[in-house]
Every structure is written in structure tokens, then in C-alpha cells.
Structure 1
Amino acid sequence: MGPLSGLTVVDLTRALSGPYATLLLGGLGATVIKIEEPGSGDVARGNVPYLGRDGVHRLPQHDDDLSIPFLERCRGKLGITLNLKHPEAISVFDDLIRDADIVVENFSAGTADRLGIGYRHAREVNPRLVYTSISGFGGDAPGDSGKAYDVTIQALSGLTLASGSEGDDPVRVGLPLGDMVAPLFAVMGTVAAVVKARETGLGQHVDVSMLGALTSMVAVEPWGGYAATGMSPRTGNFLNRLAPFGIFAAADGQVTICAANDRFFTRLPAAMGMPELLADPRFATRAPRAAHADEIHAIVASWTAGLTVAEICERLAAADIPVSEVRTPEEAVRDPRVRARGETVPLAHPDHGVAEQLHGSGLPIVFSDTPAGFDGPAPHLGQHNDRVYGGLLGYPPERIARMREQGLL
């Protein structure tokens, strides 16, 4: 029932960046047909931990246990197998894309062409097809660009030297942002290309690089301006140009305080019991506060250290100053506000149902007329072969059996 209902996506992706893109397309209502290698499947099937009939374990306990990361990123997809290196694979692939709307792949640049299933081939079969590629460095990258992994992209984008404090070693961001930002742009580009294809009848190639996507986000901050003015771009848990702004230790935890403008700051000294701060020329307005960020942050930190998280939040909330507790990821995904909006959802095993203690990403978009979300759990390997090849493509049972015998499925 989502806004992309009626569209069909042929999913050639694996690992994280590609499967996350097709997860989002499926959550928006598209039918996603996920193609996996017979026997082994998506490499994410081997990621720990696992969920099965006996709950969560670090290692699989039964043959039907499934990787929790796989369960997260492959929900609602129709799972089929196809050996893309088999001589007959291209004709089957052509049948799959002939009436499809979108193909998404995240092979290394050039791999799809070498397999004979790249964009040039696909557009001959279906001219209105939108063919989306996600790769480390883009389809036009030099051949010596190297392999792309999340930490590789974080390092090359400058992100690892954006976090932390001046003089610290590079910091890997805890979320795999290198793998997750590119899919967001890929989905944006794919939907835009589908809109254009409906107008012209012609699809196109959407080419997104992980490095370009993440670096474009890093570039939002004025790094050149920092360098030109001698400001340190690495300020740890604080943002000096908006001081006081950051994470402060309380007596029993941590809080964020964001008095990012003069309107908020004028209320902060009274809430802290330090009205004299308003008369201090170092702190009276935003620009001087940024220049004296370390000093105002130290004053606020000294105040928060003597209070509990609850006391700080109560006092600052009463003064209408942005404040929050710092939570663990496990606490955050259970927030009743995000659960009520479907922004996080319980994960389910295809055989053993919902695991209430496990939460996956929801679709953080609420549509007024076309409800969206993930329909069903991730599939077992090849679970929907008969449904797709027999029901969708109309292959007779004998042909499907022969394809299995020949190692095509």
C-alpha cells in the first residue's frame, strides 16, 4: 500500500549498502525480488549474532537459525536463487527484468558488465528500466581505486578525523555510515529516475559512490573556514561555534545541553543559578561564546557534575532549554515514541515469529494516505523460487526442476 506500490525491484545486492537501499524501496511499497547465489546466499547470512527457535545466540544452534543483520536488512523481500555465472543465467535474468521497473546492484564497479547483466545489456531488454549501481568510488573510478569497506570510506571521506578531540587518533564512527549514506542517495536518485521514466518512457543509469555520498555529507561543515581562522575542527563532544552545546557529565550519567543561540542562552544562567554569566562580555552573545567555548563549557560541566540527569533535565526543560539524557542504543530503539510511529520495529524470524527483544529499523516517514512499512520477515535462501519463477514468470515445474538439477538455482 506504500507510495511505490506496483513497482518491481530486481535486487542483485549483498552485504549492507545495496540491501539497505532495496529494503527502503520495499518499505515504500515496491515488490523486491532478491537474487542470491545458490548454496551460499548473501554474505550477510554469515553475520553474527543469530536468531532461531532457541532465541538469540552468537553462533547458529539449528539449521534454520538466521543472522540478525540479515533479518534486519532483507525484510519483506522475495528470496530467490540464481547462479549468475551459469551460461543460462542471462536469459533468466532477462525474464526477471523484462517487466520490472528497477534493478539495484552493488557489485564492484564493472562486475555486472562482466557478468553480462550490466546497464547496457539491461536497457536493451527493458528501455524503461531504472538501473541503480552503488559502488565504493563510482562507475567511472580508476581501476586502481581499491576495495571499499565502511571504515575505508569513513577514513577517505575525512569522517574519522572529524570526530574526537584535537590530537586524538582517528575515530571510527560506531554506525556504518559509509555503507548507509550511499543507499539514501541511491533511493533518492532511483525514485527521481522512475518519475522521469514515467514521463518519457525511458529509464537511465543511477550511479552512486559510497565515497562521494559520505564526503558530500562531511562537506556540510565549513572545514576550510575552520582552517583559515585557526579554529580546531575536532572538538570532541562539543560544538564550539554554538557553545554551550554538547554532552556533559552528570552525577549519574550524561546529558546533552544545546543553548545554541542567544534566546536559549539568556535563560540558561538563571536555570543554573549563575545569573552573573549574562553580564560577562565573554558569554553575552553568540560570537564571543564561540571564541570562549572552552570556558563556558567548563562552567556548565562543573554545574552538571553536581546534579543527577533527572535534576538537570527538569530544570532546563522548565526553562525551555533543549536538554536530553544520553541513552544506550538498546534503550533508544525501545522508545515508545519511535515504536508508535513505526520508526523502530520488532524483528521476526520467518519460521519462529517476532522476537520482542530485538528491534530493527522502521521506515521513518509517515504518509497521510499511503501507509508504508516492511511486510514480512527476511526469507530463507531460495524460499520464493517457485513463487517467482513459477507464478511470476510462468515457468513450468519441469523447467524449474531442471534449473535446479543444472545448478542454475
Structure 2
Amino acid sequence: MEYRRLEIAVTNRDDHRILQDIRVLDLTQYFSGPLATLYLSGLGAEVIRVDPPTGDLSSDTPLYAGPEGVSVERKTEDDMGAVFLKRCRAKKAITLNLKSEEGKLLFYRLVEKSDVVVDNFSVGVTKRLGVSYETLREINSQIVQCAITGFGLTGPDAAKRSYDVIAQAMSGLMSITGEPGGKAMKAGSPLADSISASFALSGILAALFHRIRTGHGQLVDISMVDCLFSLIYDDPLEAYDQLGMTMRQGNRIPRFSPFNVYETQDGEIVIGTSNNEMWRKLTEVMGCQELATDNDFGRTAWRLENNDIVDGVVEAWSKTCSTQEALAKLETAGIPSSAIPDIHAIKGSRQMQARGMVTPLLHPTIGPLPGLAAAGFPIKFSDSETGYDGPAVRAGQHNNEIFGKLLGIIDEDINRLKDAGTI
């Protein structure tokens, strides 16, 4: 097959979307996969959701958002899953029964005209459906396929099913999260889903660059557990263990002291010091400069071994200040510190607004949903445009466009495919 987009290496300077002209077939559902393809859309790719004729399961998963607000049960036909509305923005949507022979053939025709296929099926499902990389590369040798799974496509755990919390547990993240001596704890956000989506984006972009150089696509194998493990294992965990330090440190970082959350008169703040110079500045702010040269407090090793005592000194000072007073003094001294605002305050912050990181959450028929918002695209470029154009749409909304205009199927045959349950 002739390579149809090699000219992408020298794009028109007037084209301001990095992935303009890249077409993505999105077989994903729920969380990690839809977020990965959302990122691709944010970079300008044409993302086509390929749902079964019954629709995307996450669109009918609580919590719901609709004309009567947010609810745990569907109240109206217009209610849609809030996560679906966030993660399926700016994508086209078709329906296709991949279990039918005709549905498979239609998908193969789409693969011929596409650049990327993304799935987050359990291991073995793509082979059963006839859409594995081994099959698709015979149809289009330049296709890039990304498979997101819990444990990866290889290894003794490959066949195990996984959700975010399972990946957090099996990566070791939960074992080091929480208070010392307390229960293991998951992160407050589904980090395994989100981080694997980010790694999937990186892998897909790398594979597309490889295709530009070689003319060949390849399979990108993303394991949620691998992604999390690669991040947490960058920390010297064995060193903590050998020194008798507990790996589960709450809000502390075992290499730094003081480094924690501290009470103020009206809330809490985070203070982080990473060396003796910062500790000296902090003692000046607290009015106890003598501790900077004290035989005990003046040594990093002693502070690390006596974190409770050090934290007691810092909190005795922070409790004498309001949050704003404490932060003003710390920032003047150049000491990293922050209040701990909730998500509502962060949403309305001038910083988030200036960066375009908060956008209205749109419903396909209602428009902006009161009180709900979605994150903007997090990567900024000097020349290239990014962002999400349009709301999530219902399953099959672009059937006529994709099957009719892209594949050239006439209306009569599209109606027949609908009647047969193929689309």
C-alpha cells in the first residue's frame, strides 16, 4: 500500500494543529483509553469513536448530568455520564458491530484510510474480534495500534483484568501511600488511568514519528501497572528500607525535612524545604535562627531521623499565623509553600483561567451544564493550536458522514446496515 501521508513531515505553515490530517479509530471505553484519544484530539487529530450499536457503556454510567442537573440515577433521556461527557469531547462517533462479518469488513475499510487504532480491551479480545495488530497491519502496513491493558500484552499476569485501583495496588503505589502505620491508600484521583493515557499519547506520537522515518507502523503496548511503577520506582525506595525509614510517609518526602502539611489559624499549608539553606531561611521566618546552626537541627540527617520533632517546631509557628500571613512570609523568603485549596477554588483561580485550563462542560443537546466544567488541553505550544472543539456526541451521530462520505456507501445501503444491526 502506498504511504499516503509521508508529506506530514513538511506540513503547511498555515496548518496550526500538530496532528491535523491524522485519523484515529477509537475502540476504547470507560477511562484510560478515552482520555488518551481525547489528548490526540486536543492535538488536532480526527478521532472517530467506534461504539457497538448499543452505544458506549460509559455514557450510561453514573454520575449523570442532564437538564435536571447531576444525579446518581438517570432522570431523563438526555442524561449522560459525566465522565463520558468529559473524556469523549471533540470526537466523532459511529456505531459498528465488530462481531458481525460485515461490520468487520467495514472496519477494515476504515483502517485502510486511518493512521491510528486505539483499544483498551482485555488481552485476547482484539484477536477474537479480528482486529488485532497482526490482522490490521496486513490491511495497512503503516497503521499504528495502541493497546492499553492493566498488565500489558505479555507476562504471566497479562490475562488478568484490571481497574485503576488494581493497577495502583499492583504497581506499589498504594503500599507507599497513606500515613505511617496506617492502611494502604489509593490516590484521590484515578492516577493509573490518567497516567497510562499520557504514556499512550507519548507512545503513539513516537510510533507516528517512527512511521515518518521508516514508512512502517507498529504496535504500542501500554500497561497501566508498568506506567505507574516506572514513576514511583524513580524514588530510592530500597534505600529508605535499608535505612529503616518507612516507605509510607503520609505527606512527607523521606529525603527532605521539614516537608509536610501544617495547620494555620484558619486552614492548612504545605511547606517544602530541600536543603540546609532553605532550612536556614525558614528558621529566620519562624524567628528561631539559632536552629539553623544547632548541632542537631542544623543537620539534615538529624532532621530526617527526627521529623516529628521538626514538624512540631514548624507547626507551633504556623498555628500563630493565618494562612495568608504564613504564605506571605514564606514566599517573601523564597520558601516553596502553598495553601491547599479545594477543586472549586482551583477551578476559579486566575492562574487556571489564564492558562485556559477550565472550560465549560458541554452536553450535545443542552449546551453548557451549570456548575460543571472540564479541563483544557495541558500542553501549550508557541505556534501550534491545541484544544477540544465540541462536546461529546451520542453513539452513531456521524454514521452518515463516515460511512457515506469517507467510505462512499450510498444512503440505501446505510439504511440496510442499520436495519441489520451492523451499524
Q: What secondary structure is seen at the aligned counterpart in 1 of 2:255?
A: helix
Number of equivalences: 408
Match of 1:398 in 2: 412
Instruction: Select which of 308, 332, 357 maps to 2:371.
Output: 357
Distance across 2 between alignment mates of 1:218 and 1:315:
33
Q: Which residue of 2 aligns with 1:309?
A: 323
CA distance in 1, matches of 2:275, 2:159: 43
- Counterpart in the other structure of 1:29: 44
- 3-state DSSP of counterpart to 2:193: helix
Task: Tell me the alpha carbon deviations over residues 5-31 of structure 1, each in whole angstroms, 9 at most, x when there is no partner.
Answer: 110000000110111110101111100
Match of 1:215 among 229, 248, 260: 229
Task: Tell me the CA shift for residue 356 of structure 1.
Answer: 5.1
In the TM superposition, residue 109 of structure 1 has moved relative to its aligned partner by 0.9
User: Partner letter of residue 29 of structure 1?
Assistant: G
Matched, 1:169 2:183: yes
CA deviation after TM superposition for structure 1 residue 285, in Å: 4.1
Q: Which amino acid aligns with 1:328?
A: D
Asked if the contact 2:66–2:369 (Cα under 8 Å) also holds between the matched residues in 1, the reply is no
1:328 pairs, out of 336, 342, 364, with: 342
Q: CA deviation at 1:358?
A: 1.4
Secondary structure of the 2:101 match is coil
Residue of 205, 209, 212 corresponding to 1:195: 209
**Shift of residue 144 of structure 1?**
7.2
* Structure 1: runs of 5 or more not aligned: none
Q: Aligned pair 1:89/2:76, yes or no?
A: no
| Mapping for residues 190-339 of structure 1, pairs under 5 Å | 190-339=204-353
Distance 1:258 1:356 in 2: 37
> Are 1:240 and 1:293, in contact at CA under 8 Å, matched by a contact in 2?
no
Instruction: Work out the CA distance in 2 between the residues paired with 1:302 and 1:145.
Output: 52
Aligned equivalents of 2:152, 2:383: Cα separation in 1:
36
In the aligned structure 2, how far is the partner of 1:88 from the partner of 1:143?
34
Matched-pair identity in % = 38
Which amino acid is 2:290 matched to? E
Cα deviation, 1:87-125, whole Å, max 9, x if unaligned, reads 211110011111111000010011101110110111011
Please point out which of 67, 82, 102 is paired with 2:81. 67
The one-letter amino acid paired with 2:34 is: P
Deviation (angstroms), 1:143: 6.5
Matched residue, 2:120: 106
In the alignment, is the contact (CA less than 8 A) between 2:41 and 2:388 conserved in 1?
yes
1:54 equivalent among 54, 57, 68: 68
Q: Is this contact kept in 2: 1:100–1:129, CA < 8 A?
A: yes
| Contact 1:282/1:292 (<8 A) preserved | no
SS in structure 2 of the partner of residue 266 of structure 1 = helix
- The whole-number CA distance in structure 2 between the counterparts of 1:161 and 1:303 is 32
Q: Provide the C-alpha distance between the structure 1 equivalents of 2:157 and 2:274, rounded to a whole number of angstroms.
A: 46
Bigger mean CA offset, 145-154 vs 367-376: 145-154
Alpha-carbon shift at residue 329 of structure 1 (Å)? 2.1
Q: 1:393 to 1:111 in 2, by over 3 A?
A: same
| Deviation of the 1:342 alpha carbon | 2.1
Q: Look up the match of 2:135.
A: 121
* 1:161 aligned partner, one-letter code: S
Q: Secondary structure at the match of 2:25?
A: strand
SS in 1 for 2:156: coil
Runs of 5+ unmatched residues, structure 2? 1-15
Following the alignment from structure 2 to structure 1, what is the Cα–Cα distance between the partners of residues 116 and 348? 34
Q: Which amino acid aligns with 2:186?
A: R
Kept after mapping to 2: 8 A contact 1:189/1:206: yes
Once the 2 structures are TM-superposed, how far is the Cα of residue 335 of structure 1 from its aligned partner? 2.1
**Cα drift, residue 394 of structure 1:** 1.5
Distance in 1 separating the partners of 2:350 and 2:47: 29
RMSD of equivalent CA atoms: 1.5
C-alpha displacement of 1:240 = 3.3
Partner of 1:18: 33
Bigger mean CA deviation after superposition, 157-166 or 27-36: 157-166
Q: Which amino acid letter does the alignment assign opposite residue 365 of structure 1?
A: I
Determine the C-alpha separation between the residues in 2 that align with 1:389 and 1:115: 20
Give 2:180's aligned amino acid. E
